[in-house]
Structures are given as C-alpha cells and as structure tokens.
Structure 1
Amino acid sequence: MEPRPDTGAAAAGPVALKDRALAPDLARGFMLLFIALVNAKFFLTSPDTVVTAADKAVELVRSTLVDARAIPLFSLLFGYGAVQIIRRLDGPDGGWREARGLLRRRGAWMVLIGLAHAVLFLPVDIIGAYGLALLLFVPLLRLKDRALLWAAAGTAAGSIAVTLALMAALPVGDDGSVQAGSLVQDRFTAAASERFSEWLLYTPYTMLLVVLPPMLVGVWAGRRRILEEPARHRRLLSATAAAGLAVAVAGGLPGALVWSGLWTGAAPGTAAVLGLVHDATGWAGGLGWAALIALAALALGERRGAVAGAVQAVGQRSMTCYLMQSVIFSAVFAPYALGMSAHLGTAAAAAVAAATWSATAFAAALMHARGVRGPAETLLRRLAYGARPRRPRRTDA
C-alpha cells in the first residue's frame, strides 16, 4: 500500500533545530565517529599498520562493524532527508516542482563543495557523491514504493557486478581496497592535482554503486516516517537491527580476520573476494545501525544527557563536522604537514579519529548551546534556498 501524502501546510525553509527528530540526527552524529575511523585508516601509507595486539583488535572491530557500514547509513539518511524536504513544500504538483528545483540546486552546490573538499583535503569525498545523486536521480523520488525497492535491489546487484570487473582491472591492496596515490605526495600542489583526478573517478563510482541503493531505501523509509516515529515501527526496527547487523557481522568477520592478521592461512586472492562480500553486506549493516540507533532514540525519549546531546548536535551539523575532520586529518597525516601517515599504526590512527570526533562534538555542543547552525549547513541553505528561507505558502488546509 502506498503511503498517503501529507495535506497540511508546511514551510519551505529549513526546520528549526528544536523541531528536528532525534533519531536521524543521533544516527548522523554517531556515524561521523565511524566515518572518522574509516578515513583515519585511509590516510595510513605504511605497509605495517597492523602489528601490535591493539592494532589487530582495532582492525578486527573496525573492519567488521564500521568499514562499508557508515556510508550506507549516511546514504539512507540522505534519502530520508530528501523526503522531509519534499514534505515541507505544500501542494501536490507545485510542491513537487519546487522541491525538484530545490533538490537539484542543493545537489549542484554539494558537488562543488565536494570538489573543493576533495582537492584541498580528501579524495574519498562523500558530499559530491550525494550531490551528484540528487542532480541525476531526483525523478526516482517519485517512484511507487515497489518500483523504488526494485530500483534499490537492481542498483545493488549492478554494484556487485561492476565491482567484480574493477577488481580484475585495478591494482588492489591487501585489504581489497584501491590505493590512492595522492596520499604519498610530499607537496600540496601535487597532492591536490592528484586528488582532483581521484575525485573524478571516485565520485560517480561511489554515487552509483555505494550511495544509490541505500538512498532509495531511505526514501521508502522517509515516506513512512520510520525514524521520526520509532514507537509506531518498533517491531520493524527490532527485526531490521537484528538481521542487518547479523548479516554485516557474518559477511564482514572473515575479511576482518584476514586483514587483522588473525587468519593467516588464506589463499592468494582470498582477501579481495572477502572484501567484496564485506562491502556487499555493508548495506545490511547500514540498515541495521539505523534501526538500532532509532531504537536507542526511542529509549532515550526526553531523558538526554550531555553525551546524547553532543552526538545529536554533531548530527545537526554533520557537514560542518565532516569537513572539520578532514582539516584535522590533513594536518596530522599529510606528508606536507605533520606527516604521520607513514608512522602510525591502526590503533594510533583510531585514537586520532576518536580524539578528532570528540573535538568536533565539543564544538557542535557549543554551537548548539548558543543556537548556532553549522557554517557549512548555513552556507548550503543560503545557496539552495536563497538569502532567506521562503515563507510557507497559504493553503486551504
């Protein structure tokens, strides 16, 4: 059965921070910790990053529960947020035309912001991938539910097929990942030039084969307000959390055992195959994490302590905090800065990631206490909406 459209008037501008649902922001904030753990590992260039017992433990846990699980969750939340934007624009036809224009403007600016982010700091940028998805696939947001889920399944199957082809054609690391040459450049200009080329390849690949499937599932979930009204969907959320995380662990653990050095008898080429299984089951892990965090938000209710409040504040300023992470990581890891990428192991990189995320959480909490939005979010809203958010149109509702 298709969800019935909302009929009440809604504002076209951004939602006030106090009126935002807890679960999506909590998920964004928590997953930025996961993103930090993944990106800190990405910066490492030493061939011996997993040596100590601490390195092995961190590699095992991160590879099983975090890698290829965070971006699918972010993608689901991105699709969910697109539905919330559409819902805020009243009128069945005029509302869609306005929403389509707004989403495409938002997508275009996100592509440009992502390009700048990649050239300056990090080639594996996700902002541009999300923006490109909006630019190219806004019409998919109008699909019927069944077609939407079939599209998600089809793009997921296509992703696996293309990844298999790329594995045969590209140089692959021991953990199944493609190595980025920009990480070892000792001059900023040379690194920036190479990051530009890497971004041009990485962004469409990530958009089509990583972001799009869970984004479409997020649209389906957004139509039903599953994360905004977790009490109504407790049974679905419980089943999704259990099944999604179980699949993610089952698919991720074998590869994690190899990459952590705890499984030493694997045949040559096994790591690449296990990497494919690991990444494919990451979509289920992203759904599982989203459901688990929604249940945690339901349990918290209004009883939110300082930690939950800080995580929520990060989620409300996710783009700002994401960019802050890249600035700090570049200063710590880049060869033309402190140059720690060639010297740190997995455990030390995880410590840098946790400290960085904690610093962004502290900054976000201060902004929240002062009622200040994140500067990146403010900039994007100004660019997408115009100088001022539009007033809601009058309706007969």
Structure 2
Amino acid sequence: MLLFIALANSHYFLRGPSVLGGYPRDGSGVDSAVTWLLSTFVDGRAFPMFGLLFGYGVAQIARRQRTLGPWAVRRLLWRRSLVLIVVGFLHALLLYAGDILAAYGVLLLVGAWLVRWKDGWLLLTALLFFALGALPGDGSSTIDSSHPDVAMLPPDVPTMLVERAQVSLYIAFLGPVGFLCPFAIGLWAGRRRILERPERHRMLLWGTASVGIGAAVLGAQPISLMLAGVLAPPDQPTLELIGPLHDATGVLGGLGYAALLSLIAVRFQARGPGRMVDVIAAAGERSMTCYLAQSVVWAVVFTPFLLDLSATLTVAGTAFLATTTWLSTVLLADWMRRTGRRGPFEVLVRRVTYRRSGW
C-alpha cells in the first residue's frame, strides 16, 4: 500500500509542455510504459485499499473496546479522528498539499456513528457512494490537464502556507465522499475478521481478488492507453465517461488488492514468517510514520525553493525515486523494530486516542 501511494503521489509534481492526468506528454518510450503501468495498477487503486484498511482497523478498535459501551467507543474514535485532522493539516501545510490524513480524520468523525450500523445499511451506503463516484463528470484527476499549482509547487514559504491552508480544507471535506465506500466495506469486513482469518473465507477472497483486480485493469485501459500516448484523447463528453470509469473500477481494484494480499499471507503463514515478512510488517506497524516520511522526500526534491526537480525528472525517474523512497522507509521501520522503537506518530495517535482507556 505504501509503495503504491508513493508511486501515485509523486508523479503529480511533474511539469512539462503538456500534462494530462498528472503525466507530462513529452516523455520517452520508457516513460510511456511506466505511465501505462501506474495508471493501470496504481492510480485510483491504492487509496481505496487504504480506505478499506482504515475502516477495517476502526472495526477492530470497536471490537476490542466494546466493553466500554457505545458512547465511550465513539468518543475514543473521535479523539483518534481529531489527532488525524491536526497532524494531516500540519502535514499538508508544511510538506504535501495532497494530504489525506485530515480527510480520514473527518471521515472518522462521521464514521464513528457507522460502527454500530447493521450490515445491510453499511453495504447499502457503500453501494450508494460507489454509484455516486461512477457518475459521469469532469472532476476525475485522471483527465485533468492542469499543471501542478502553487499549492503543490509554491515559490516561497508565505505562498505555501496560504495556498496549502485552502487546499487542505477542500481535500479534508471533499475527500471523505470518495473514501466512504471502501471505509464502509472495511467496517463490514472487520466485523467478520475476514482479512485476519483468510483460511475461513477463501472463496470470498478469491472472488474479490479476481473480479476486483480484473475490473480495475480492464476499466483502466481507456485512460491508461490515452495517457501512455497509444490512443489520442477523445472529445470531452467521452472523457467525462471514461474518467469516472477509471476511478470506479479503481475502488474494486483496491478491494481486490486487499483480498489478494490476505490470500498471500496464508502461504507465508503455512511455512512460517521469514525475514522479508518481518521487514514489511515493520513498515505496516509504522505506516503513518512511513507515509509522512515520504512527504519529506517530495518536499525536498520538488519544492521550487529547495531542489526544484519537478521539470527535470521524468515519469520513469520519479517512479524510481518513489520506489527508492518506499524502500528506505521500509528499512527505517525495520531498524526501529530491531531496536525496539515504535513509530513516533503511531505513539502520538495511541496516546491521544487511549488517554482515558489505557493501552
């Protein structure tokens, strides 16, 4: 998930004579191939998986704390949401304008009420917001032809603070609309511990992985082939159809990825965890710290008054940077695991969340 988020976030900093969907149009054949891979397997597919896992984690918290009573659990979740909002706003202000932590915090303010909803209402809500995201329109980032704005690439610190404050509020309040579908499904799945007990849900997981990833790959092709330069951009009405198609099938892909990873975990569980599993798990246990660490790299590399490489790096070069950044955070997390250190932001969230309930 963190690797895909790094790949999805970093290319939106790039500039060029012509940009579509966050990709410069004047790259090499390698850049076109990387663009196709990212727009097919990553863009709009990583964040739904994040949303599913977020909802799943909320269901775990509610289950572990159910003896406190519904109102106490709600207050606990609201404290968690507030720390996400504060950290997310500061993150957006100082490092990355496209922060999603604040959006998840706002989502949890509402989502705390969904914890006690019946299964049918959760699934109906997920279906409703999935349908809303699939409606034709021109709001999809996959068909956006604008260059990075001053919030992404600010010329100076005062401009950065002013512009990012406005953008972060917009994302924080609009983002939950797009995340509510996978969040609600995550709550439903978390109640049944589907990802934790994949051996009991093999058919459901295999079906979700096959249908979800298959739909995501097929649904991405109109946009992916266009972004890669294989197909010419169609007229605006057609763009307003295929853009939401790319995003809607991406939600299915995010669910499919989570199911596939759960099935892969069964294989590792059967033969015992190895060194690689421990390393990756360490990053998962410190995912918020690793996510924020990525933004430090984006800020240093792309900010105009720092290294200012947004017009220098290519799509392929940025993908390499994203992969290297992710690998560095994984190694950092593993070092923290071996030395008995928890992620500082995970510690912060837990302290605020459980200050009245213990650890």
TM-score where L is the length of structure 1: 0.84
Bigger drift between 60-69 and 132-141 goes to: 132-141
C-alpha separation between the residues in 2 aligned to 1:150 and 1:176?
34
C-alpha separation between the residues in 2 aligned to 1:265 and 1:378?
47
Is 2:195 the counterpart of 1:227? Answer: yes
Judge conservation of contact 2:133–2:247 (CA < 8 Å) in 1.
no
Is 2:336 the counterpart of 1:370? Answer: no
Query: Per-residue deviation at 1:67?
Result: 0.5
Alignment match, 2:97 = 123
Alignment match, 1:143 = 117
Secondary structure of the structure 2 residue equivalent to 1:183:
coil
Query: Per-residue deviation at 1:306?
Result: 2.8
Pick from 320, 335, 340 the counterpart of residue 351 of structure 1: 320
Alignment match, 1:183 = 152
Query: Per-residue deviation at 1:389?
Result: 6.0
Alignment match, 2:284 = 315
Pick from 45, 58, 61 the counterpart of residue 37 of structure 2: 61
Is 2:17 the counterpart of 1:43? Answer: no
Query: Per-residue deviation at 1:222?
Result: 0.4
Judge conservation of contact 2:48–2:251 (CA < 8 Å) in 1.
yes
Is 2:243 the counterpart of 1:280? Answer: no
Alignment match, 1:107 = 81
Amino acid at match of 2:17: P
C-alpha separation between the residues in 2 aligned to 1:390 and 1:183?
39
C-alpha separation between the residues in 1 aligned to 2:7 and 2:212?
21
Alignment match, 1:157 = 131
Secondary structure of the structure 2 residue equivalent to 1:312:
helix
Is 2:57 the counterpart of 1:81? Answer: yes
Amino acid at match of 1:99: V
C-alpha separation between the residues in 2 aligned to 1:265 and 1:211?
28
Query: Per-residue deviation at 1:106?
Result: 0.5
Bigger drift between 293-302 and 235-244 goes to: 293-302
Query: Per-residue deviation at 1:98?
Result: 1.8
Deviations 1:3-34 (A, max 9, x none): xxxxxxxxxxxxxxxxxxxxxxxxxxxx1000
Deviations 1:219-264 (A, max 9, x none): 0000110011010011110111000001101111110000111113
C-alpha separation between the residues in 1 aligned to 2:114 and 2:147?
30
C-alpha separation between the residues in 2 aligned to 1:278 and 1:86?
33
Alignment match, 1:251 = 219
Secondary structure of the structure 2 residue equivalent to 1:281:
helix
C-alpha separation between the residues in 1 aligned to 2:152 and 2:145?
17
Secondary structure of the structure 2 residue equivalent to 1:338:
coil
Amino acid at match of 1:365: D
Deviations 1:33-61 (A, max 9, x none): 00000111111122353411110111001
CA RMSD of aligned residues (A): 2.0
Alignment match, 1:289 = 257
C-alpha separation between the residues in 2 aligned to 1:150 and 1:226?
19
C-alpha separation between the residues in 1 aligned to 2:70 and 2:311?
50
TM-score where L is the length of structure 2: 0.93
Pick from 47, 56, 61 the counterpart of residue 71 of structure 1: 47
C-alpha separation between the residues in 2 aligned to 1:143 and 1:118?
32
The alpha-carbon distance between structure 1 residues 244 and 226, as it changes in their structure 2 partners (threshold 3 A), is same
C-alpha separation between the residues in 1 aligned to 2:137 and 2:213?
24
Query: Per-residue deviation at 1:139?
Result: 1.0
Alignment match, 1:341 = 310
C-alpha separation between the residues in 1 aligned to 2:280 and 2:99?
22
The alpha-carbon distance between structure 1 residues 154 and 195, as it changes in their structure 2 partners (threshold 3 A), is same
Amino acid at match of 1:164: G
> How many pairs does the alignment contain?
352
Is 2:208 the counterpart of 1:240? Answer: yes
Higher RCO, Cα 8 Å, sep 6+:
1
C-alpha separation between the residues in 2 aligned to 1:98 and 1:135?
14
Is 2:352 the counterpart of 1:383? Answer: yes
Query: Per-residue deviation at 1:89?
Result: 1.3
C-alpha separation between the residues in 2 aligned to 1:47 and 1:268?
21
Alignment match, 1:197 = 166
C-alpha separation between the residues in 2 aligned to 1:200 and 1:88?
32
> Which segments of 5 or more consecutive residues in structure 2 lack a partner in the other structure?
19-23
> Which segments of 5 or more consecutive residues in structure 1 lack a partner in the other structure?
1-30, 392-397
C-alpha separation between the residues in 2 aligned to 1:147 and 1:352?
42
Query: Per-residue deviation at 1:134?
Result: 1.0
C-alpha separation between the residues in 2 aligned to 1:192 and 1:379?
24
Query: Per-residue deviation at 1:205?
Result: 1.3
The alpha-carbon distance between structure 1 residues 149 and 364, as it changes in their structure 2 partners (threshold 3 A), is same
Judge conservation of contact 1:140–1:148 (CA < 8 Å) in 2.
yes
Amino acid at match of 1:134: L
Deviations 1:246-304 (A, max 9, x none): 11011111100001111136345644432221011111000000000001111111533
Alignment match, 1:4 = none
